[in-house]
Amino acid sequence: MSSRRKFITLDYGSQKQLTAKNASTIPDILIYIFQRGAADGLNLIVPHGDSDYYAKRPNLAIPAPGTGSNSAIDLDGFFGLNPDLAALLPIYDNQDLAMVHACGSLDGSHSHFKTQAFVDRGTIDTTIVSGWLARYANSYEDDSSTAFKSVAMNSATPKSLDGANSAVALGNIENFSIIAPAAETELINNNLLALFSGDQSLDKVAQATFSAINNVADINPADFPVENNAQYPDSGFANKLKDLAILIKSGIGVETASVDIGGWDTHDAQAPALTQLAQDYANSLAAFYYDMGDYMDNISIITITEFGRRVTENGSGGTDHGTGNVAFIMGGGVNGGQVYADWPGLNQDDLVGPGDLAPTTDFRTIISECLDKRLYFNDHQTTFPGFEVPEYLGLFKTKV
């Protein structure tokens, strides 16, 4: 990677921004990516060393490494990388990417709505309606934090940020503004500022919103070009990551970011759909990695999905809702270059539910280790009430 500055300082009045400090004094920026729709982890990180994988997927299985142009790329003799994720291989080889297989949650409902809600809340206690990311963000007050402390690169904040004291939903930088005729925007902005000029909670929320709008308006994307020959695809997911890269480079104060990528519910005609989805995911994420350069030393990315797909393919060329899945973890603080798995096996006797990969790693274990080792936060009962964190997997290097 090229040698370059890690953060710059922007002057937004009294707001204090992250500056180029010793890496050991800066918590990582946490980027949380949700593959909504339940991605087929068995065809993304292929257990080619388990013969039952091929027995149960005679048509959908990714061919074993070395058996053709569309075969899996061997990673460790047992797991292989879907060839449509090939853009991630150099990052894996650089030991900045790891995967956790047979990862999942306690929710066995196979319902998108229920399981996504559980993952976003981070607890089985349905009386708790706030999101785990919101609880983390609310757990500390820092004078250096800005309105962009928690940013969602979506048109609306996800449920994981429900209850956040401060969160900005930003569909894209260019259109982040008050929606009104151009000639009236300034007048409307001034009138709203006057209306919410007090010190009540609603006033403070409104003031933070106006501040965020003004701060983004001050960012000229041309001042933060794509670097290191990174090539972003022309897709919604790629554009979100590209805008996020600009926000981070600008020094606007991003501490956590959430990004959704949907469309993973492949009940029929899975092969062509998964090819497109996997290529978009991998090429976009690789572009962000190269674009960010040395920033990646202080960024941790965690990608999860609500649940996996059934081990046995269905009659429509797809897979039905399952349980266990795979998580992707990327960043300079990752002990990468390996697939972490307490592999339960795909033999019929090893499956759970109606024929699912058994989850042996709770997704909250991954996030808890990241928060502890990279963000200096180990109050796990705040983020995940009722969850007793087991021994860490060793996914992350401890930031000192």
6 in a structural domain:
no
Alpha-carbon dihedral sign for residues 104, 295, 255, 238: negative
**220: part of which helix (H) or strand (E)?**
none
- pLDDT for 30 equals 98
Which amino acid would we find at residue 35? Q
- Token digits of residue 192: 């709203």
Say which DSSP state 321 is in. B
Whether 106 is covered by a domain: the verdict is yes
- Residue 251 phi/psi, 5-degree rounding, is 75, 25
CA 179 – CA 175 distance, rounded (Å): 9
In a domain, 179, yes or no: no
Residue 103: beta bridge partners?
A: 325, 361
- Whole-angstrom distance, CA of residue 332 vs CA of residue 67: 33
pLDDT score of 14: 26
Q: Which two tokens stand for residue 98?
A: 């790891």
- pLDDT in single tens digits along all 400 residues of the chain: 332 222 222 222 222 233 333 445 789 999 999 999 999 999 999 999 999 999 999 999 999 999 988 999 999 999 999 999 999 999 999 999 999 999 999 899 999 999 999 999 999 899 999 999 999 999 986 767 777 889 999 888 899 999 998 888 887 776 554 333 444 445 445 544 455 455 655 445 455 555 555 666 667 788 889 999 999 999 999 999 999 999 999 888 899 999 999 999 999 999 999 999 999 999 999 999 999 999 999 999 999 999 999 999 999 999 999 999 999 999 999 999 999 999 999 999 999 999 999 999 999 999 999 999 999 999 999 999 999 999 999 999 999 8
Q: Could you give the CA distance from residue 262 to residue 158 in angstroms, rounded to a whole number?
A: 13
DSSP 80-112: EE-GGGGGGHHHHHTT-EEEEEEEE-S--S--H
In a domain, 239, yes or no: yes
Identify the pLDDT of residue 209.
54
* DSSP codes joined into one string, 154-213: SSS--GGGTT-SS-EE-S-STT-S--S-HHHHHHHHHHHHHHT-SSSHHHHHHHHHHHHH
Lookup: tokens for 346: 């795909």
**218 vs 194: CA distance, rounded Å:** 21
The pTM is what?
Answer: 0.86
The residues, any chain, with a CB within 8 Å of residue 185's CB and separated by 6 or more, are 177, 178
Number of independent structural domains in the chain: 1
pLDDT of residue 217: 67
CA atoms within 13 A on the CB side of 74: 9
Q: At what angle do helices 236-250 and 270-292 cross, to 10 degrees?
A: 20
Distance CA 400, CA 391 (A): 20
Residue 122 main-chain phi, psi, to 5 deg = 75, 20
Q: Which structural domain, as residue segments, surrounds residue 280?
A: 23-173+219-383
pLDDT at residue 219, rounded to an integer: 75
Secondary structure class of 73 (helix, strand, coil): strand
Q: State the Cα–Cα distance between residues 383 and 161, nearest whole angstrom.
A: 12
Give Cα 283 distance to the centre of its chain.
15
Say what the pLDDT of residue 328 is: 98
Which pLDDT value is given to residue 200? 55
* DSSP calls for 333-351: TB--SEEE------SGGG-
- Predicted pLDDT at 347: 98
- Asked whether residue 4 is assigned to any structural domain, the reply reads no
Task: Identify whether the C-beta of residue 304 lies closer than 8 Å to the C-beta of residue 119.
Answer: yes
Q: At what angle do helices 201-217 and 182-195 cross, to 10 degrees?
A: 150
User: What is the pLDDT at residue 199?
Assistant: 62
- Alpha carbon 366 to chain centroid distance? 12
Strands 73-74 and 80-81: antiparallel
Residue 339 lies in a domain: yes
Sequence-ordered alpha helix ranges (H) in 218-328 = 236-250, 270-292
Which sign does the torsion angle of CA 85, 89, 94, 99 carry? positive
Task: State the residue for tokens 């964190």.
Answer: 389
| CATH code for the domain of 286 | 3.40.720
User: How far, in Å, CA of 397 to CA of 333, rounded?
Assistant: 5
Spatial contact of 34 and 305, defined as CB atoms under 8 Å apart: yes
Q: Determine, yes or no, domain membership for 183.
A: no
Q: Would 113 be classed as within a structural domain?
A: yes
Predicted pLDDT of residue 11: 29
